[in-house]
Chain A
Amino acid sequence: MIARRTVLQWNVNVKTPGYVGFANLPNQVHRKSVKKGFEFTLMVVGESGLGKSTLINSLFLTDLYPERIIPGAAEKIERTVQIEASTVEIEERGVKLRLTVVDTPGYGDAINSQDCFSTIISYIDDQFERYLHDESGLNRRHIVDNRVHCCFYFISPLGHGLKPLDVQFMKAIHNKVNVVPVIAKADTLTLRERERLKRRILDEIDEHGIKIYHLPDAESDEDEDFKEQTRILKASIPFAVVGSNQQIEAKGKKVRGRLYPWGVVEVENPEHNDFLKLRTMLITHMQDLQEVTQDLHYENFRSERLKRGGRLSSHGYVLPLSPAYVPLCLPAFLP
C-alpha cells in the first residue's frame, strides 16, 4: 500500500461566511485554565530589614509569616543563607492561584558575604533539574512546576545606587530567573531623591550588563488604557515601594500604611510609592513571567544540562544519535 501525502493548497485568512462557532475556542481554553488553576513561584532576595516579608504580605494581603522570630545580631554572624518556601492558595472569583514565596533569610547578613548566593543559585538550579527530570519521565500527568518564575531583588534606599554585592548577585542569576529590582523602604526618600536613585540604578544596570526583566510592549491592538498602563509601568522601573502590615485610620478611612509624626505613608497610594505599580505588573505579567521562565531560562538550562550529559530518569532510553540529540543513556548521575 502506498501512502502519499501532498499539501494541496494554502488559503490564508478566509473568513467563514456563516457562523461556525470556533470563535468559542478561547472560552473553552479559558474554562480549562480556570479549572486547572495557576502556579507561581516568587523569590525575594535582599538584606535583612529591607521589608521583604512585609512587602510580600502587603502584595497578597496575607500574613505569610505569622509566628516570625527575628534573630539577633549574634545569631546572624554565623548564619548561612537559608531557603524558606511558603505556599499559599489564593482563590478569587473561581480562579485558583497556588503561590509559593521563596524567602532567603541570611542573604547579605554575614560579615563576609562572599559566598552567600551559591545556596540561592543551587536552589534555582534544583528546581530546573527536578522539572527536567519530571518532564523526561514516563508519567507526565501531574508535573508540579516549582521553578522560580520571578525574583524580586531588594535594593537598599540608603546607598547611592547598587552595591558590589547587588551587582554580583544579579549578574549571577540574570540568566536563570527573571530579575525585578525593587527599591525598598522608599519612604526614606523624597521624590527627587527617589528619581535620582532610580536613574542611577538603571545606569549601573546598563553599565554592568545586567539583564533585568523587561515588560513586553503592549500590542498595537490593545486598548489605550492598557497601552498607557504599560508605558507608565515601564517608566517606573525600578519600583520604589513601601510595605505595611498595619491599618491606619487616615482621612476617615482605614488604609494600609505607616504612621509617622509628620504624616501617614499610604502603601496603596500611587503618589506615595510604587506599590500598586509593582502589584499590577506582577499580576498582569504573571503569565509572561512564566513563559519567559519556560521558554528562555528553562530551555537554556535544559540545553546546557543535556550537553553536559548524565542520566535524567530512572530508565535509560536510547535515542537517535546525531549532533542535534544527546544520548540520554549515559552512566547514572542523579542520586
Chain B
Amino acid sequence: LAFQTIEIGGPPPGGPQGGVLRGPDLLGYVGIEAVLDQMRRKTMKAGFEFNIMVVGQSGLGKSTLVNTLFKSKVSRKSCSPNYEEKISKTVQLQSVSHVIEEKGVRMKLTVIDTPGFGDQINNDRCWEPVLKHVNEQYEKYLKEELRVNRQRKIPDTRVHCCIYFLPASGHWLRPIDVEFMKRLGKIVSIVPVIAKADTLTLEERTEFKQRIRQDLVANGIQVYPQKENDEDAEERLLNNTIRESIPFAVVGTDREHQVNGHRVLGRKTKWGIVEVENVAHCEFANLRDLLIRSHLEDLKQVTHDVHYETYRVQRLTAGAVHQGGPNGSDLESHL
C-alpha cells in the first residue's frame, strides 16, 4: 500500500510532499460545506437525548431548579398528581422523561432525582445507590455495544451531568459533600451548585465559593469541566473562566413578577424581588448557559469519550467473571 499526501497550489516541482489543500489553492470550489449541512439536517431529525441527575438533600430546590432550567414542568414533583413532600426512608432514584421542543429542535430530557439522599439520621454510604445507577447505565450501554447484532443507535441512558446541590451554609464543604463528590466525580461530570443562594450576600457568596474551590482541590475532587479534557487553547480559556466561577450560586422559581414593566422570573420578598435571570442577583443564567447553551454537547461527549471509556476499560480488563458488574455479582446473573 502506498500512502502519499499530495500538495497542490502550483505545479509540484519534485515529487509529492505532504500538505493541505486550502480554499484559494483549489482551482474551483468543491463544496465540502454541503456535508456539514447534511449532518445538521440529520442530527436535527434524529433529535437529542440528555440525561441529567440532581442530587441533594430535601428542600434544596432541586425540582424547582430543573423546572426553571428547562422552563417546563419536567421534574418529578410536577409530574405526580398528589405530591406531598415527605422525606423518604431510603434513597430512591426516580426518572422522569420528557420530549421538549424548541425552534424545531427536539430533545428527550430525562431527569433523575434522588429523594432521600442525605436526609436520614445516618447517611453512611448514601451515595451507593447513585454510584450503582450510574454504573448500571454504562453497563447497559456496553452490553449493547458488544452484541453480535447490535442496534443502529444505541439508546443512551448514561448520566450526562450530575448537579450536586450544596446548602448555602457559608462555611465549608460538609463531609457528605466531600464523600459523594470524591466518588462520583470519577465516573460522571459533576456540576456543583450553591442552592437557595438568596441567603448569602455577595461578599459571603464570593468567600464561600473560594472556600469550596479550595476544599475541592484539597480533597482531589474532579468537577466539570475537567482540565484534562480541554481540547485546545480556545477551549481552555473558556473553561478556565468557568472553573473560576464554580460553584454557581443559584436561585430557582417558576413564579413571575412585574419588574420595571417586564415580567421576570423571581422570588418576591418584603425587601425586594430576587430576579432569577438577572446576573447581578444570582448565577442561574450562567448555569443555564453553561449546561444548555454552550456545553450540552460537550457534556455528552465527555460522558461518552472519557467516563464511559474509563468504565469500559475497567470492565474489560477486570479479567475473571467474578469481578462482575455493578452488583458485584456475576455478569451472567444479569442475562
Contact = CB atoms under 8 A, between A and B. Distances in A.
B partners with A: yes
Interface of A: 1-26, 28-30, 32-35, 38, 60-64, 66-67, 83-93, 95-97, 138, 140-141, 219, 222, 279-280, 283-288, 295, 299, 302-303, 306-307, 315, 317-322, 324-326
A324 B148 contact: yes
Given A88-B6, A325-B148, A140 B309 contact: yes
B32 A89 contact: no
B316 interface: yes
A279 B35 CA distance: 12
23 contacts: A1-B125, A9-B97, A11-B99, A13-B99, A16-B70, A16-B101, A22-B107, A23-B104, A32-B297, A35-B231, A62-B6, A67-B15, A67-B16, A87-B5, A90-B20, A90-B30, A91-B20, A92-B22, A92-B29, A141-B309, A288-B38, A317-B317, A322-B332
B107 A93 contact: no
A295 B3 CA distance: 27
B150 to A, nearest CB: 7
Most-contacted residue by chain B among A93, A285, A287 (CB, 10 A): A287
A62 B71 CA distance: 52
Contact of B317 (A86, A87, A315): A315
Interface stretch (B160-168, B177-185, B187-195, B288-296): B288-296
A219 B162 CA distance: 37
A14 B43 contact: no
A39 to B, nearest CB: 11
A34 B297 CA distance: 14
Main secondary structure of the interface of B (DSSP, over half): mixed
Main secondary structure of the interface of A (DSSP, over half): mixed
B321 interface: yes
A8 B94 contact: yes
B111 to A, nearest CB: 10
Contacts, number: 262
Given A303-B148, A320-B332, A325-B148, A29 B43 contact: yes
Nearest to A21: B293
B106 interface: yes
A20 B294 CA distance: 12
A307 to B, nearest CB: 6
B36 A34 contact: yes
B217 interface: no
Given A66-B6, A91-B23, A283-B30, A7 B104 contact: no
Contacts of A306: 148
A258 to B, nearest CB: 17
A16 B95 CA distance: 20
Contacts of B258: none
Nearest to B232: A35
A21 B100 contact: no
Interface string B295-325: 1111001000100010001011111110000
Contacts of A32: 297-298, 301
A12 B316 contact: no
B298 A92 contact: no
Interface string B72-91: 10101001100000000011
B252 to A, nearest CB: 14
B100 A287 contact: no
Given A1-B128, A92-B26, A325-B147, A26 B40 contact: yes
Given A286-B35, A318-B321, 11 more contacts: A1-B129, A15-B101, A21-B292, A63-B6, A63-B8, A84-B2, A92-B29, A93-B23, A284-B35, A295-B152, A299-B149
- Nearest first, the 7 closest Cβ-Cβ pairs linking A and B are A3-B129, A23-B103, A28-B297, A21-B293, A317-B316, A18-B71, A9-B79
